[in-house]
Amino acid sequence: MGEAWEVCIRALEQAGTPPGHAATQTNLLLEAELRGRASHGLLRLPRIIERIHNGVADPKTRGNAVWRSPSFLDMDGERGLGPVIALAALDQVRERARETGIAVAAVSNNNHIGMLALYAEQVAREGQILLALSTSEALVHPWGGRRALIGTNPIAIGVPAEGEPFVLDMATSQVAMGKIHDYANHGRALEPGWALDGAGNPTTDAVAAKAGALAPFGQAKGYALGLAFELLVTSLTSSALGTAVKGTLDSSAVCNKGDVFIVIEAGSGAVASRIADYLDDIRACPALLPQRPVAVPGDRARAERRQRLDTGIELADEVWHRILDLAQCAA
């Protein structure tokens, strides 16, 4: 962990990133690795650095934030590093929400902000609710449709609870495109209902699905929610919509998706205690399969984090060597 930290920081600094910004970006990637979310982990670092070299990510800026109205922050990310801009916006809306009860940041012109869970966890730990939405390239088909027209539009919700906060972080696709690629690499068949092929027909062939579309989670209702999130973000940030969204999966396009953070002052300690008790009731619910106890969102990520803090993280050799190269170290 310590070695990975230093190498990532060095790689980002080699690309012109100030030390504080390099630490923010590296922390987010490593926290994803610790939680077992490799798709949002160090494998993203080479693309981030390529984007800096290609002029579509500016590692130095903290963005340009303007209060559109007393509780509404417009943040022009100025092509900055995703988490650097996101945290700069969050800091301001969190402080404002302490006074006004609720505040929102509409973030445009920002790069990929990574795993949303970390933002939700930090905010909820300090007694505020976070509702975080982000749009993304169109990979998801509308329910009953054959083409990818909607982003995987993740949502995170953090709610304070006594002890550990409640943290939900999920994409609105049935599975991640990273999982399709992983299945393709290992020659595994997809489960029915996960994806369509390039012609818009249902497929279990992972290679065919790479050129197709992901199913929305939750059929018609999940489609409706993912679409609603895309519209909400666009209405607030003026971001691109659908197939016009670029820049989170490539190294050369300006990133034109949007991010929205809504921060709300949460209830008192008594409510946080009742919420913790209720979550324990849910964990204690008799399970359909005895070997699979009922889980509360965030439980598994916390367990994985605890374990990896002991055992360390495992990285694919290819990813690690790429990052070492970027840091200009000998392998």
Q: Tokens 């800026």 correspond to what residue? A: 61
Residue 46: Cβ-neighbour burial (10 angstroms; 0-12, 13-18, 19+): middle
Residue 59 Cβ, how far from a copy of itself at the closest point, in Å? 29
Query: Residues 222-257, buried b or exposed e (16+ Cβ, 10 A)?
Result: bbebbbebbebbbebbebbbbeebbbbeebeeebbb
Q: Please choose, out of 4-12, 177-185, 285-293, 312-320, the segment that lies near a copy of itself by the rule CB under 8 A.
A: 285-293
Please pick, from the candidates 2, 66, 187, 286, the single residue that binds a copy of itself as defined by CB under 8 A: 286
Contact mark string toward a copy of itself, 302..331, x via CB under 8 A: ------------------------------
Please pick, from the candidates 53, 188, 274, 321, the single residue that binds a copy of itself as defined by CB under 8 A: 274
CA 6/CA 9 separation, integer angstroms: 5
Q: Does residue 54 bind a copy of itself (CB under 8 A)?
A: no
Residue 111 Cβ, how far from a copy of itself at the closest point, in Å? 22
CA 89/CA 169 separation, integer angstroms: 19
Please pick, from the candidates 12, 38, 57, 275, the single residue that binds a copy of itself as defined by CB under 8 A: 275
Residue 1 Cβ, how far from a copy of itself at the closest point, in Å? 29
Q: Does residue 149 bind a copy of itself (CB under 8 A)?
A: yes
Q: What's the N-to-C CA distance of the chain in angstroms?
A: 16
If binding means CB under 8 A, how many residues of this protein chain bind a copy of itself? 76
Residue 190 Cβ, how far from a copy of itself at the closest point, in Å? 16
Q: Does residue 176 bind a copy of itself (CB under 8 A)?
A: no
In degrees, rounded to 5, the angle at the alpha carbon of residue 207 between the alpha carbons of residues 204 and 210 is 95
Helix (H) or strand (E) holding 13: helix 2-14
Q: Does residue 101 bind a copy of itself (CB under 8 A)?
A: yes
Please pick, from the candidates 70, 163, 192, 269, the single residue that binds a copy of itself as defined by CB under 8 A: 70
CA-to-CA separations, 7 to 80, 244, 321, in angstroms, rounded = 21, 35, 11
Q: Does residue 269 bind a copy of itself (CB under 8 A)?
A: no
Residue with smaller CB distance to a copy of itself, 54 or 273: 273
